[in-house]
Amino acid sequence: MMHHVQAFDRDQFMMTTWDSMVDPESTARLIDAFVDSLDLSDYGVKELASEGRPPYDPKGLLKLYVYGSDNGIKSSRKLAKSCRVNVEVKWMLGGVEPDFRTIADFRKDNIDSLKKIFNEFNKRLTGAVEWGFTSIDGSKFAACNSKNNNFTKNKLDDRIKWLNGHIEEYLRILDDTDRQEDFEDNPEWLTREVIEEKLQEARERLKKYEGYQKIMEENGQSQMSLTDADAKLMKSKNGFVVAYNPQTAVDSETHLIRDFQMTNQVTDHGLLDSTLEGVREESEGIIETVADKGYESEKDMVKSLEDGIIPHVITDDGKDGYELEIWYEEADDINAESTDAEDLKKALHAGVIPEAYEDVITDIEVKEVRRKVSEEEAKVSVESIYGTSEEMMERAKGGYFVRDPERNLVYCPNGEILRQKCIKKNGNIRYANKNACRHCPNRNKCYKGKNEWKEIDFTKDCLEKPCKDWLKTEGKKPDIGGANKGKYHFETKKVVRFFLKPDRKKTAERMCLSEHPFGTIKRAMGFSYFLLRGLKKVTGEFALMCLGYNIKRAKKLLGFEKMLELMEVGIC
């Protein structure tokens, strides 16, 4: 007979305490001490209703959520179950067992307080750790919205075109059915009742999609999500997903998340300075940060330098840095030694390198430049010379790309609609329609490039461009006429130009810094998607994720005893 480790007798009577059942260095003890030390009213946490049955202690519910973020539990139903079966949770909450709705309502009613509590946790660590430079990066977290409930303008164009074709086919079948003398030979799926039902369904879907299209055009939206209105379709490593793009600022010395910014911006472009806003307010002196090529925005880098942030943005191969330009502003009382944001901005605009930037800024000079300025810029929109959509489409079929500025789209020579893809750094608007180009029978007459689709750029006052290959095939010459009425004048202004050289040693560490927290949150903690909807709510949900990660990281970094000492600050 094989011998096993002896199990206890389930009927044996025991005398013990709840405290003895929790590990002496359990993270639950840190969470309990941290939340007990908080005056929740300082962070906007609402007291539960005092009428009727006594309410649950909000500190207990907050402990539950922080514990869940540390242990990969974020569903209110799973948290409610933990109150019944988890010894550590029973110890923290004193044995109370709130139902899932009470737990969910606490998070809903106090969603704005969660980031403040996350920031408070980081403040407790400030005296015990030495902060280094920060690393900025973003990652896609799936939203509570499927791709089927997300529509882009091109997607709606394709579906409306597809439905119009089906409606025409159903009407043709009905017409053929009316001409037949014997209806008994028709299969069951081709009866008048079935076709009329399908026709009605197609018309209802068409009306719905045209309504979406009208709303998007009236509000200037590029896409629409039906379940979570703030979520956007984004490209990730696993294809396209409806998601959010949170930005984190990770410390180089501790790998702790110092701050974050929740965004629904599809790219990281221009988010460097705004992500560090909270870190900048809490820090003294100059802040250094590293970021990948996705943050390569001259305007954003200049704004960062003006705010006391040195942006070490990774450059392309063979490139040492960035040539930046700002408007010149004359100033008398320049303090190059100061690290105050106002003094830094004043020095840069006067063409003086602040002492704090001497290692990263070189070749600064003041120059006079002559720039072309459009006189149409003051107008809200440029009116089309053709009037109706039918007239614009008819003109396009003659071999031109015709832009409708009011609806912000372009008609191509084949009669398809090209939608805005992006706005380039020079202000030009780029239009494309990948699906239409892939299936276009006249593609060779229009485009012979390496890509699978045509992309065309328009300035704000340009209304028409010739399709040269199309016109050449048909033996015509381009005739733009008065379609593009842009008027310009030239102005001479003084600018300050300088060269920003990132620190390559710091940029080499970027991947080891930013990728680590995201990997832990998504894989180890299981938080790769959001349960809540709306930018405001997912900000609070992500604050819990970051707090859970920081608790794990700080405990490993400082040890249990030191952490407990920091968490108990404020307990009387």
Confidence of residue 215 (pLDDT cuts 50, 70, 90): very high
User: 491, 370 in Cβ contact below 8 A?
Assistant: yes
If asked whether residues 23 and 127 sit together in one domain, one would say: yes
Q: Can you list the positions of beta strands (E) in 175-308?
A: 223-225, 232-236, 239-244, 247-251, 257-261, 287-291
The residues that bridge with 322 in the sheet, in sequence order, are 500
Q: Which whole number is the average pLDDT over 401-421?
A: 88
pLDDT of 484 > 90? The answer is no
If asked whether residues 23 and 108 sit together in one domain, one would say: yes
If asked whether residues 124 and 50 sit together in one domain, one would say: yes
Percent of the chain scored above 90 by pLDDT? 60
Q: Mean pLDDT lowest for which of 57-71, 281-295, 483-497?
A: 483-497
Say what the pLDDT of residue 220 is. Answer: 81
Does residue 174 lie in a domain region? yes
If asked whether residues 126 and 159 sit together in one domain, one would say: no
Say what the pLDDT of residue 80 is. Answer: 97
Confidence of residue 399 (pLDDT cuts 50, 70, 90): confident
Does residue 348 lie in a domain region? no
Q: How many CA atoms lie less than 13 Å away from 181 in the CB half-sphere?
A: 0
Which of the listed residues 458, 486, 514 is the one where a domain comes to its end? 486
Say what the pLDDT of residue 377 is. Answer: 45
Q: Using CA atoms, how far apart are residues 291 and 289, in angstroms rounded to an integer?
A: 7
Q: Which domain holds residue 197?
A: 147-225
If asked whether residues 552 and 475 sit together in one domain, one would say: no
Say what the pLDDT of residue 382 is. Answer: 47
User: 413, 399 in Cβ contact below 8 A?
Assistant: yes
If asked whether residues 159 and 71 sit together in one domain, one would say: no
Which of the listed residues 462, 486, 510 is the one where a domain comes to its end? 486
Does residue 446 lie in a domain region? yes
If asked whether residues 103 and 164 sit together in one domain, one would say: no
Which residues touch 172 (CB under 8 Å, ≥6 apart)? none
Confidence of residue 120 (pLDDT cuts 50, 70, 90): very high
Q: What is the pLDDT of residues 246-278, one digit of tens each?
A: 999 999 999 999 999 999 999 999 999 999 999
Which of the listed residues 470, 486, 502 is the one where a domain comes to its end? 486
Higher-scoring residue by pLDDT: 222, 40: 40
pLDDT of 378 > 60? The answer is no
Say what the pLDDT of residue 313 is. Answer: 94
Q: Which whole number is the average pLDDT over 35-57?
A: 86
If asked whether residues 56 and 86 sit together in one domain, one would say: yes
Pairing of strands 287-291, 309-313: parallel
Q: Which whole number is the average pLDDT over 26-40?
A: 96
Does residue 350 lie in a domain region? no
Which residues touch 140 (CB under 8 Å, ≥6 apart)? 234, 236, 241, 243, 244, 245
pLDDT of 178 > 80? The answer is no
Say what the pLDDT of residue 453 is. Answer: 83
Q: Using CA atoms, how far apart are residues 91 and 18, in angstroms rounded to an integer?
A: 6
Does residue 498 lie in a domain region? no
Cα torsion 38, 44, 46, 47: sign: positive
Does residue 240 lie in a domain region? no
Percent of the chain scored above 70 by pLDDT? 92
Q: Counting Cβ atoms within 10 Å, is residue 398 exposed (0-12), middle (13-18) or buried (19+)?
A: middle
Say what the pLDDT of residue 332 is. Answer: 83
If asked whether residues 116 and 186 sit together in one domain, one would say: no
Say what the pLDDT of residue 454 is. Answer: 86
If asked whether residues 66 and 161 sit together in one domain, one would say: no
Q: How many CA atoms lie less than 13 Å away from 98 in the CB half-sphere?
A: 26
Does residue 273 lie in a domain region? no
Q: Using CA atoms, how far apart are residues 349 and 50, in angstroms rounded to an integer?
A: 58
Query: What's the total number of domains in the chain?
Result: 3
Q: Using CA atoms, how far apart are residues 183 and 177, in angstroms rounded to an integer?
A: 8
pLDDT of 554 > 50? The answer is yes
Q: What is the pLDDT of residues 317-356, one digit of tens each?
A: 888 999 999 999 998 888 999 999 999 999 999 999 999 9
> What is the overall mean pLDDT for the chain?
88
Residue 367 in tokens: 């120059």
Say what the pLDDT of residue 379 is. Answer: 43
Strand, coil or helix: 145: coil
Q: What is the pLDDT of residues 83-115, one digit of tens each?
A: 999 999 999 999 999 999 999 999 999 999 999
| Nearest one of 209, 147, 199 to 175, comparing CA atoms | 199
pLDDT of 483 > 80? The answer is no
Does residue 554 lie in a domain region? yes
Model pTM? 0.87
If asked whether residues 195 and 114 sit together in one domain, one would say: no
If asked whether residues 124 and 161 sit together in one domain, one would say: no
